[in-house]
Structure 1
Amino acid sequence: MLREDLKGLTDAVSSLATHGSAAVRDGVRQKAYETADRARAAAGEVRDQAEEAHEKVNGVIVANPTTSVLAAFGVGMLLGMWSRR
């Protein structure tokens, strides 16, 4: 009778380990999917902000081409002088 009880207990623990690990695996998989979805959403927001900034910069350049060229030239000169040191 003790052997039967021990066998039943062993089977129960084995079943719990099998089903428990499946539940843990499914939980980890679900969290990974949720994290990936949040990362995609964040990347989309960053992309949208970068596109908006790009459009604003292009608008300033188109509106002020001479100033933009002179500013780029000045920044290039400063960087060139700074890199020689």
Structure 2
Amino acid sequence: MQIDHVTREDFMELKALLIEIKESLNGKVSKQEDKTWLKSVEVRKLLGISPGTLQNLRVNGSLPFRKIGGSMYYKLSDIHQLMEGGDDGK
């Protein structure tokens, strides 16, 4: 069995690589948070709801949307507002 020793230089290279990976991941997370408009698929995943439930939210006016071509878009702030205030069963 061969034993490899980790030198200080090896450790510093690993540390630098981990910092680089962390910064890369943080950048991806902040890009998602900066996203203002979400497509239907993203909203359904975020809320854990079916396409029919999302349609009901649109129809009864609980969740405002914009239709561009064949795609529906929802403001992230409207989704947060819906979650914080609920629809009070209306």
TM-score (norm 2): 0.39
Larger Cα-atom Rg:
1
Higher relative contact order (CA 8 A, sep 6+): 2
Higher fraction of strand: 2
Higher fraction of helix: 1
